[in-house]
């Protein structure tokens, strides 16, 4: 059974100051999890977790993770700017993007970040646009085909837009060495949200063997291997969570079996987790405001897919707790819906829950990664606030809720803007 990290009483007190819907994150949980990850890979002296900024791009969250020794994986100019703003510099930042504009590569270089190239053509792109190569560069690998694990997990690298073939990796390394690159990293992401302790060790084994072949083929000095993300979380209550200590030891075993005998025992291991680092430590809290009884039973809440799009976009399961009714029987069948003019705006379909009364607080679990970050403004719905439950039990606002004026701000150079301002005043909004 999943347990909320705030009680109904806490949520009601918070909602009096920060109206629903709101996101809330658990600082204590975030820190403890980051320390567990670092401990699991402490056998590797160069280990570092590069948190995927795209998962939760909030500066206060990034500060917490930076304090715990994490770096940041960025994929856009805004993510680079955000990482720099919270104090990350140099090797604190890994820049992994695709279809990248020149100015983003240039800025990543100015920050002295580690640049991870997605495609062989990007080498020529650097040359043609006079973008300086760094002494240390990385390339992303795509083995093609289908990545299948013994427990049935499968993903399809051959249908992915990311990464290079092995032959292209060798060509990229060789060409970059001709332009002054001295040290190389290998990066790959082959499966998403795996809830198994086997994924990282299996991936690591493939990448370790690739590193040996590339070193033999090119003579490149390979200094790190980035296992990227893909370590998932148990969204459903019946799933057994990953054990990061077991995962770390599994990678350790592969490292000792493959890398050490090949004379590559000093290669650093990087990870690049977003979901595992933050998913369970953030939740969306919303309130039941309508009920509807037609062919099904519906509960309407004041959040919508614009606040958390994963269920609508992917059909993803997010567990729901009705705060204050944790011990009541789940004997009612509901669709829990938002207000968007789209029929897929549903947080749950045919979900067994306790009887929900109007005004009840609905706690949507595991929204700490790819939750707020994927928000949007369809139907003019506004972004919620983001709050941090601090280690001392106090709550701090780390992003205020978007206002109507924020939403219309980019019309400020149009003649209609004054009329919009007047209409906002009439509506009683801000």
- The C-alpha atoms of residue 345 and residue 236 are separated, in whole angstroms, by 20
List the catalytic residues. Answer: 341
Q: Is residue 425 part of a domain?
A: no
Considering the domain architecture, whether residues 270 and 354 belong to the same structural domain is answered as no
DSSP state letters, 305-358:
TTT--HHHHH-----EEETT-TTS---EEEEEE-SSSSTT-EEEEEEEEPPPPT
Q: Is residue 420 part of a domain?
A: no
Between residues 92 and 153, which one has the greater pLDDT?
92
> Is the separation of the CB atoms in 284 and 307 below 8 Å?
yes
- pLDDT at position 153 is 47
CA dihedral of 264, 220, 205, 250, whole degrees rounded to 10: 40
Look at residues 249, 278, 307 and tell me which one is the last residue of a structural domain.
Answer: 278
- pLDDT at position 213 is 98
Tokens of residue 104, six digits:
């983003």
- pLDDT at position 191 is 82
Considering the domain architecture, whether residues 105 and 237 belong to the same structural domain is answered as yes
Q: Is residue 110 part of a domain?
A: yes
* pLDDT for 178 beyond 80: yes
Considering the domain architecture, whether residues 244 and 287 belong to the same structural domain is answered as no
Q: Is residue 427 part of a domain?
A: no
Tokens of residue 294, six digits:
């037609």
> Is the separation of the CB atoms in 251 and 268 below 8 Å?
no
Considering the domain architecture, whether residues 90 and 175 belong to the same structural domain is answered as yes
Considering the domain architecture, whether residues 144 and 70 belong to the same structural domain is answered as yes
- Whether the model pTM is above 0.85: yes
SS3 423: helix
- Let me know if 374 is exposed, middle or buried by CB neighbors in 10 A (0-12, 13-18, 19+): middle
Considering the domain architecture, whether residues 236 and 158 belong to the same structural domain is answered as yes
* pLDDT for 8 beyond 70: yes
Q: Is residue 19 part of a domain?
A: no
Strand-pairing partners, residue 363, are 285, 321
Considering the domain architecture, whether residues 291 and 386 belong to the same structural domain is answered as yes
Domain total of the chain: 2
Considering the domain architecture, whether residues 124 and 52 belong to the same structural domain is answered as yes
Look at residues 248, 278, 308 and tell me which one is the last residue of a structural domain.
Answer: 278
Strand-pairing partners, residue 395, are 389
- Alpha carbon 426 to its chain centroid, in Å, reads 39
Least confident of 189-198, 219-228, 291-300: 189-198
- The C-alpha atoms of residue 17 and residue 395 are separated, in whole angstroms, by 10
386 Cβ partners below 8 Å, 6+ apart?
Answer: 22, 23, 24, 25, 58, 372, 397, 398, 399
- pLDDT at position 50 is 98
SS3 91: helix
Considering the domain architecture, whether residues 253 and 270 belong to the same structural domain is answered as yes
**CATH at 359:** 2.40.37.10
Tokens of residue 287, six digits:
């309130």
Considering the domain architecture, whether residues 267 and 347 belong to the same structural domain is answered as no
Considering the domain architecture, whether residues 63 and 118 belong to the same structural domain is answered as yes
- Residue 426's pLDDT band, with cuts at 50, 70 and 90, is confident
Residue where the block lists tokens 């990248």: 100
Q: Tens digit of pLDDT for each residue in 42-65?
A: 999 999 999 999 999 999 999 999
> What residue ranges in 126-263 does DSSP mark as E strands?
136-140, 147-148, 154-155, 183-187, 221-226
Q: Tens digit of pLDDT for each residue in 146-176?
A: 556 545 444 656 566 789 999 999 999 999 9
DSSP state letters, 143-176:
--S-EE-TTS-EE-GGG-S--B-HHHHHHHHHHH
Tokens of residue 89, six digits:
């510099």
- pLDDT at position 146 is 57
Look at residues 278, 312, 339 and tell me which one is the last residue of a structural domain.
Answer: 278
Q: Is residue 2 part of a domain?
A: no
> 132 lies in which domain range?
25-278
Considering the domain architecture, whether residues 34 and 162 belong to the same structural domain is answered as yes
Give percent of the chain with pLDDT exceeding 70.
Answer: 96
Q: Is residue 197 part of a domain?
A: yes
Least confident of 16-25, 154-163, 331-340: 154-163
- The C-alpha atoms of residue 402 and residue 430 are separated, in whole angstroms, by 9
Q: Is residue 337 part of a domain?
A: yes
Q: Tens digit of pLDDT for each residue in 93-133?
A: 999 988 999 999 999 999 999 999 999 999 999 999 999 99
- Residue 374's pLDDT band, with cuts at 50, 70 and 90, is very high
- The C-alpha atoms of residue 68 and residue 39 are separated, in whole angstroms, by 11
- pLDDT at position 166 is 96
């Amino acid at each position: 059974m999943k347990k909320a990290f705030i009680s109904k009483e806490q949520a009601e007190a918070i909602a009096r100051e920060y109206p629903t819907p709101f996101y809330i994150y658990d600082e204590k949980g975030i820190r403890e999890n980051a320390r567990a990850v670092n401990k699991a890979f402490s056998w590797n002296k160069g280990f570092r977790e590069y948190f995927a900024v795209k998962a939760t791009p909030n500066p206060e969250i990034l500060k917490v993770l930076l304090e715990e020794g994490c770096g940041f994986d960025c994929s856009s100019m805004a993510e680079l700017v955000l990482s720099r703003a919270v104090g990350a510099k140099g090797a604190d930042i890994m820049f992994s993007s695709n279809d990248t504009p020149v100015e983003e590569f240039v800025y990543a270089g100015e920050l002295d970040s580690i640049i991870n190239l997605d495609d062989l053509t990007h080498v020529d792109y650097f040359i043609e646009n006079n973008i300086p190569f760094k002494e240390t560069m990385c390339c992303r690998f795509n083995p093609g085909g289908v990545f299948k694990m013994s427990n049935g997990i499968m993903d399809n690298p051959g249908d992915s837009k990311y990464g290079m073939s092995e032959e292209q990796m060798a060509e990229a390394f060789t060409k970059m060495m001709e332009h002054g690159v001295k040290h190389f990293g290998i990066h790959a992401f082959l499966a998403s949200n795996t809830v198994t302790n086997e994924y990282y060790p299996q991936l690591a084994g493939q990448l370790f063997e690739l590193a040996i072949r590339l070193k033999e083929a090119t003579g490149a000095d390979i200094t790190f291997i980035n296992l990227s993300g893909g370590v998932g979380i148990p969204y459903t209550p019946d799933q057994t969570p990953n054990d990061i200590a077991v995962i770390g030891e599994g990678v350790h075993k592969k490292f000792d079996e493959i890398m050490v005998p090949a004379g590559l025992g000093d290669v650093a291991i990087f990870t690049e987790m977003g979901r595992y680092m933050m998913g369970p430590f953030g939740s969306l809290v919303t309130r039941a405001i309508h009920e509807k009884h037609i062919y099904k039973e519906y509960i309407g809440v004041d959040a919508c897919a614009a606040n958390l799009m994963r269920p609508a976009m992917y059909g993803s399961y997010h567990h729901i707790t009705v705060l204050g009714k944790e011990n009541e029987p789940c004997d009612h069948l509901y669709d829990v819906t938002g207000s968007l003019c789209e029929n897929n705006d549903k947080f749950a379909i045919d979900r067994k829950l306790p009887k929900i009364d109007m005004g009840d607080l609905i706690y949507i679990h595991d929204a700490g990664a790819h939750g707020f970050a994927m928000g949007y403004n369809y139907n003019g719905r506004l972004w919620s606030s983001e709050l941090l439950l601090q280690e001392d039990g106090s709550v701090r606002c780390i992003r205020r809720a978007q206002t109507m004026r924020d939403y219309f701000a980019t019309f400020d150079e149009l003649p209609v803007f004054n009329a919009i301002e007047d209409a906002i005043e009439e509506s009683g909004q801000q």
